[in-house]
Amino acid sequence: MKLNLLAVICIAVLCITLTLGLWPFHSPANEVSWLGNHDGLRFGKYGTVIGSGFFRISNPRDNSEASLEIWLQPKLIWDGGTFLAFYRPENRFQFSLHQSLTGLAVRIGAQYGQDDAKTAELNVSEVFGRKPRPVFITVTSGVKGAWIYVDGALAAAAPEFPLSAGDFTGGLVLGDSAGQPDGWSGELLGLAIYHRQLTAAQVFHNYAAWKRTGRPGIAGDERNIALYLFDEHTGDVARDKARSGVDLYIPERYQVMDKFFLEPFWTEFSMSRNYWRAVVKNIGGFIPFGFCFYVYLAAALPIKRATLVTVALGAAVSITIEILQAFLPTRDSGTTDIITNTLGSWAGVTSYKLLKPILAQWFPGANFTQQLYIPLSAYLFKRSKS
């Protein structure tokens, strides 16, 4: 009877672990809607807008100069996410813009092989202020590096940052990233792309025009190749007002373009707070699994090398979750989680080994396999969910 109860608890822990790793089991509705009181789009937690085709450079020899203007307002200041990304199937790290709390992160990457990517990042602090408001961001590139303007004023100059017009080609995603989900919440009010470096005077002129009329005052020599005013107010397409021929469409269901399958841990690695928070959660989430299954295998059955078997089971469950997550747009499929989940299984085994002799000294003669197993596993499982 007690053996059956332990088996039921292990099955319950396994089912809940799978549920937490795979929930939701479907693609949710795409949380993108038109603004009612003015031009623009509103993005929710799971929202994305995707280009209907690829942006291409008309003159490949002139690959040094490009500019991008985007007008947006984040929903929350103390939040983050990718609000614009260019990608190609062979290089999903190509170019992206991110909100990082009140700061802006500009990231570019070059793909040297299927699993070999080199990335560079330019960070600009205090771009979004201390409360949500519309912010006009201009990113320009030229032979002497990259410049970032905020509301028409120079915010950062990076002469060594290797941004070029080639980074503004390929597919375009708004409100999210390609490869893995990284949703951004807020309002997108306008977007323009140029195949030349805008001067400081042109940047300020366009900012003033956007503020005054809702669109830039584009001169002929600025070589505007795409302009999205988001003034349709209905339907699932935002039309390009320039000449790229690439419209933006709003999918009915949330999706991630060219989603990664088991992204390598060295490309997932980051020093960000979100990355390390996920590491801690993934380790803690598998401690109940390791604890419960080790007690069942070592004390209830028992079997030899229960530690090795328990850790191997944790790794197998984690691999299964990560493979299935590749087909779920709201979840990340990567190898970092396999490592941290396996470590969590080992930590669960270790926690039982450490607790058993300590409590045996306090309560001689007690059967801790039976008395400690159920309440402590329930406590650890509750902690992993919080």
Q: Residue 370: which H helix or E strand, with range?
A: helix 368-371
| 376-382 CB contacts, 8 Å cutoff, 24+ apart | 376/291, 377/9, 377/13, 377/288, 377/291, 377/292, 377/295, 380/287, 380/288, 380/291, 380/348, 380/351, 381/13, 381/16, 381/288
Whether 238 and 359 map to the same domain: the answer is no
- On whether residue 126 sits in a domain, the answer given is yes
Q: State whether 173 and 315 are in the same domain.
A: no
Distances (CA, A) of 37 to 123, 233, 254, 283: 33, 10, 25, 46
Of 254, 283, 317, the residue at which a domain comes to its end is 254
Answer for the pair 56, 192: CB distance below 8 angstroms, yes or no.
Answer: no
Q: What is the per-residue pLDDT across 355-368, written as a single tens digit (0 to 9) for each?
A: 877 756 655 555 55
272 lies in the same domain as 326: yes
Here the tokens at position 19 are: 């549920």
Based on the fold, state whether residues 20 and 44 are members of the same structural domain: no
Q: Are 342 and 315 in contact (CB under 8 A)?
A: yes
Task: Report the predicted TM-score, pTM, of the whole model to 2 decimal places.
Answer: 0.84
Residue 91 φ then ψ, to 5°: -150, 85
Is 196 part of any domain? yes
- Are 343 and 234 in a shared domain? no
Residues 39 and 166 in one domain: yes
Q: What tokens appear for 161 in the block?
A: 């940052």
Q: Are residues 54 and 90 in the same domain?
A: yes
Question: What is the CATH number for 179?
Answer: 2.60.120.200
Residue 261, domain member (yes or no)? no
Between CA 360 and CA 368 the distance in angstroms is: 8
309 occurs within a structural domain: yes
Tokens of 305: 């090398």
- Mark whether 245 and 303 lie in a shared domain: no
Helix axes 306-325, 2-22, angle to 10 degrees: 30
260 belongs to a structural domain: no
3-class SS string, 346-366: HHHHHHHHHHHHHHHHHCCCC
Are 9 and 131 found together in one domain? Answer: no
Query: Based on the domain organization, do 10 and 126 belong to the same domain?
Result: no
Residues 200 and 314 in one domain: no
Residue 189: inside a domain = yes
| Positions in the chain short of pLDDT 70 | 1-2, 57-63, 110-118, 359-386
Total domain count for the chain?
A: 2
By residue count, the chain amounts to 386
Where is the domain boundary, 213, 233, 254?
Answer: 254
CB-CB neighbours of 373 under 10 Å: 22
Distances (CA, A) of 30 to 79, 143, 240, 256, 289: 20, 39, 21, 11, 34
pLDDT of residue 24: 86
> Same structural domain for residues 143 and 66?
yes
| 144 in a structural domain | yes
Domain boundary among the residues 254, 287, 315 is at 254
Q: What is the Cα–Cα distance from 320 to 22, expressed in whole angstroms? A: 10
Nearest to 286 by CA among 243, 259, 316: 316
Range of 9's domain? Answer: 2-25+267-385
Phi, psi at residue 61, to the nearest 5°? -70, -25
Name every residue whose Cβ is closer than 8 Å to that of residue 323 and which is 6 or more positions away in sequence.
261, 262, 333
